[in-house]
């Protein structure tokens, strides 16, 4: 039972354009969400997070949007750069529950120069 | 500050053998979590240790076990290896118990296990 889903396994975007990565979840008790970026042969690195009390969080070129009613979050990268090419994982947790993070299956982003 | 380190980085074993993987968290971090990453499955949670106690466990068979030492270093053991255990095993550390704000996890580079 995949509680966190990333339905697009891959995405290609032209350099300078916007990249939008999507993530859906099923557990309405999730209240904290994160995005991680992973390069080959490296572990995932934390990118940005959002609490359920917000619907948007921005950090430089990265913005995460949360739509609680749709149980959907998205990561926007503007403008996209070739160095952004990586696998992106979203993760969710329930602060008052088991506390562990549930990860999606990842989306491979390729930014074309 | 040194990051999370995992040893060994690569490992080749045969079916039926057992393996032990090691993880050293960031200094001061008391929580260590283990994940299995396989193509198409994302990061599957194995277990988490906090202050030498297993705090959470994922849906893996009993062949997968772990422990944490007083210096927060952690080991993961897989007995009676199967072909399907071939994967990247990632360790992540956090200051406090994982999940929720202020306890983001920092990942090591992983151990690539190949079972022949």
Give me chain B's average pLDDT, please: 92
| Number of Cα atoms under 13 Å in the Cβ half of residue A34 | 23
**Beta-carbon neighbour count of residue B95 at 10 Å?**
16
Helix (H) or strand (E) holding B111: strand B111-115
Measured from the Cβ of residue B59, the count of other Cβ atoms closer than 10 Å reads 8
CB-side neighbour CA atoms (13 Å) of B12: 1
Of B45, B104, B107, the CB nearest to A100: B45
Radius of gyration of chain B (CA): 13
What is the reported pLDDT for A97? Answer: 59
Minimum mean pLDDT range among A88-97, B3-12, B65-74: A88-97
Q: What are residue A101's phi and psi, to 5 degrees?
A: -90, 135
pLDDT digits (tens, 9 = 90+) for B58-106: 889 999 999 999 999 999 999 999 999 999 999 999 888 776 666 788 9
What pLDDT shows up at residue B104?
A: 80
- As a whole number, the mean pLDDT across chain A is 92
End-to-end CA distance of chain A: 38
Using a CB-CB cut-off of 8 Å, the residues of chain A touching B2 are none
pLDDT at B24 over 90: yes
Compute the C-alpha angle A25/B49/B5, nearest 5°. 95
Per-residue confidence (pLDDT) for residue A111, from 0 to 100: 97
- In sign, the C-alpha dihedral spanning B23, B110, A66, A75 is positive
Q: What is the mean pLDDT of residues A25-48?
A: 92
pLDDT band at B41 (very low <50, low <70, confident <90, very high): confident
**B39: pLDDT confidence band, cut at 50, 70 and 90?**
confident
Evaluated on CA atoms B2, B12, B36, A104, the torsion sign reads positive
Which residue of B41, B48, B107 is in closest CB contact with A105?
B41
Cβ-based contacts of B35 with chain A (< 8 Å): 103
From residue B50, how far is each of A18, A29, A84, B95 by CA, in Å? Answer: 40, 23, 33, 9
Contact B43 A103 (CB under 8 A): yes
Q: Is the pLDDT of residue B33 over 90?
A: yes
What's the distance, Cα to Cα, between the start and end of chain B in Å?
37
Q: Do B100 and A98 touch (CB under 8 A)?
A: no
In whole angstroms, give the CA distance from residue A80 to residue A82. Answer: 7
């Amino acid at each position: 039972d995949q509680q966190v889903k990333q339905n697009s396994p891959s995405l290609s975007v032209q350099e300078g354009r916007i990249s939008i990565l999507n993530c859906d979840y099923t557990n309405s008790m999730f209240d904290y969400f994160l995005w991680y970026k992973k390069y080959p042969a490296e572990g995932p690195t934390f990118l940005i997070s959002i609490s359920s009390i917000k619907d948007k969080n921005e950090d430089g070129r990265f913005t995460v949007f949360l739509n609680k009613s749709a149980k959907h979050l998205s990561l926007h990268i503007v403008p996209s750069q070739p160095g952004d090419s990586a696998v992106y994982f979203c993760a969710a947790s329930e602060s008052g529950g088991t506390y562990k993070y549930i990860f999606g299956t990842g989306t491979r982003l390729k930014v074309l120069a | 500050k040194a990051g999370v380190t995992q040893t060994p980085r690569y490992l080749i074993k045969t079916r039926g053998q057992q393996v032990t993987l090691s993880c050293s968290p960031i200094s001061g971090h008391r929580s260590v979590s283990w994940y299995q990453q396989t193509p198409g499955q994302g990061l599957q949670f194995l277990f988490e240790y906090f202050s030498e106690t297993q705090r959470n466990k994922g849906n893996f068979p009993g062949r997968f076990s772990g422990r944490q030492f007083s210096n927060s270093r952690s080991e993961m053991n897989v007995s009676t290896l199967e072909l399907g255990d071939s994967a990247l095993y990632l360790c992540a550390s956090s200051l406090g118990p994982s999940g929720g704000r202020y306890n983001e996890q920092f990942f090591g580079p992983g151990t690539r296990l190949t079972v022949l």
